[in-house]
Every structure is written in C-alpha cells, then in structure tokens.
C-alpha cells in the first residue's frame, strides 16, 4: 500500500510547508500530496484553503494577494507559504508528488511549472500525479500534459466514475475513506484504475483500508 504524506507530514509539522515536506521525506513517504492555487501575481502557491486565514497569521483570499504579500505571512513555525517551484526544488525527486489543483484556473501554471522542472531538473514525468475535484480544469490540464498521470478526486465515488475517469485517461481514483466499500474498490480495480483513499490517520482505519485492498492511503502521519 502506497503511503502518501497528506499536505506533507502535516500531523507533525505545519501543513503544506517546506518543513512538512522534508519531514515526509525523512519518514520515507513514497509520495507527498499538496494543494495548489494561483495567486494574484500569477505564481502557483502551495496552500489548502482559498483564503490564508486558517493556516497563517494573515487574512485574505489567495487569488487576491500577490506573492510578495503572501510571503509576509507565517504559515506556522516561522515557515512561509511555498511556491510550487520552491516545493519541487526542495523535494528534488526524493519522493513522488501528488499535486492537487485547488484554485480555479491554476491548471495552466501547474502545467508550465511541471514542464519547466522536467526540462531543467531531476524531475521526470512519471514522478507526478495531478488530481482535482474540479474535473473540468483537470481535463484542461490533461490536454496540456497528456504524459502526466491523473487522479480523479471524489468524496463519494459516483456510479458513473469510469465515464469521467475514461475521459481523463486517469491513473487513479482518489476518494474519501468514509464512502468506500469492498464492492466499490473491486469495481474500480475491474475498470483498471488504482484507488487511493483519504484521509487515514489511525491504525484501525489503516487496517480497514488494507482489508478493502486499496492501493494507497493519504495520511497526516506518514
């Protein structure tokens, strides 16, 4: 079962910060998940919410703040909100990454950044899994970069999941543990996709997911 560090090792360090990614690498997570938005000045930044209020000492909407403004906030333990570029530079291919596209229209800068990294650094196309709950933006990303693996995010996996997954030539279905059953997992496997389950933060849930035969779990405690 693949262990995916959810927002980095976010159970130990502030979520979606460089320190939480480096901790995940120390803990030998095979994949690190983080969330991306585009900010007002156009850079891709790594933060979960659409605003900075919960995870930093600042206030405001990410898409309405410039990178300069965002960099002034403390994202926990004195950490700054990292850009996607900084994040990939720091992880430096030591773990695979799952980039979750959160912010509307951030798929373009995500594609540009991945391309640039593959052309100029240690990163290879196979190191990336790009996912989103926004299936329209995910399709736009897929058209720009068909060589990158796609994870289709759902809370509850709908009956017609394979219609959506097929359009995206998806690699995995990434779904909430709360709605998973043996039948759904078998169906996902029959249709030829991996199933990664979020978020598993205790031993009981981990055993349940192993019993269901999921291929990977997102956890804050990699």
CB of 68 to ligand G3P, least distance (A): 26
Q: Which of 83, 117, 131, 177 binds ligand G3P (CB under 6 A)?
A: 131
Phi and psi at residue 47, to the nearest 5°: -160, 150
35 contacts ligand G3P (rule: CB under 6 A): yes
Q: Where are the alpha helices (DSSP H) in the chain?
A: 18-26, 67-71, 84-91, 107-120, 135-144, 161-167, 182-190, 203-212
- Enumerate the β-bridge partners of residue 176: 198
Supply 41's token pair. 């000045």
Instruction: Assign residue 153 a region (left: φ > 0; alpha: ψ between -120 and 50; beta: otherwise).
Output: beta
Q: Which does 198 bind (CB under 5 to 8 A by kind): ligand G3P, Mg ion, none?
A: ligand G3P
As a whole number of angstroms, the distance between CA 194 and CA 196 comes to 7
Identify whether 48 is a catalytic site residue: yes
10 contacts ligand G3P (rule: CB under 6 A): no
Residue nearest to Mg ion according to CB distances in the complex: 100
CB of 19 to Mg ion, least distance (A): 18
C-alpha closest to that of 73 among 113, 45, 104, 44? 45
35 contacts Mg ion (rule: CB under 5 A): yes
CB of 153 to Mg ion, least distance (A): 8
174 contacts ligand G3P (rule: CB under 6 A): yes
100 contacts Mg ion (rule: CB under 5 A): yes
**Cβ-contact 65, 118 below 8 angstroms:** no
Which chain residues interact with Mg ion by CB under 5 A? 35, 100
- For binding to ligand G3P (CB under 6 A), which residues are involved? 6, 33, 35, 48, 100, 131, 153, 174, 198, 218
User: Any idea which residues carry the catalytic annotation?
Assistant: 6, 48
């Amino acid at each position: 079962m693949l262990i995916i560090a959810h927002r980095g090792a976010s159970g130990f360090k502030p979520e979606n910060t460089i320190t939480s990614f480096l901790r995940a690498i120390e803990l030998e997570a095979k994949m690190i998940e983080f969330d991306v938005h585009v900010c007002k000045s156009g850079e891709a930044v790594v933060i979960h919410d659409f605003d900075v209020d919960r995870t930093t000492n600042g206030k405001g909407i990410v898409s309405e703040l410039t990178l300069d403004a965002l960099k002034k906030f403390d994202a926990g333990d004195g950490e700054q909100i990292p850009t996607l570029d900084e994040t990939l530079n720091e992880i430096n291919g030591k773990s695979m990454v799952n980039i979750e596209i959160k912010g509307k229209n951030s798929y373009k800068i995500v594609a540009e950044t991945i391309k640039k990294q593959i052309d100029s650094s240690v990163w290879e196309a196979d190191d990336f899994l790009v996912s989103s709950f926004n299936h329209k933006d995910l399709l736009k990303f897929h058209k720009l970069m068909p060589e990158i693996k796609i994870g289709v995010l759902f809370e509850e996996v709908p009956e017609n999941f394979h219609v959506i997954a097929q359009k995206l030539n998806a690699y995995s279905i990434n779904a909430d543990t709360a709605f998973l059953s043996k039948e759904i997992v078998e169906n996902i496997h029959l249709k030829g996709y991996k199933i990664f389950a979020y978020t598993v933060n205790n031993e009981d849930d981990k055993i349940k997911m192993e019993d269901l035969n999921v291929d990977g779990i997102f956890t804050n405690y990699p």
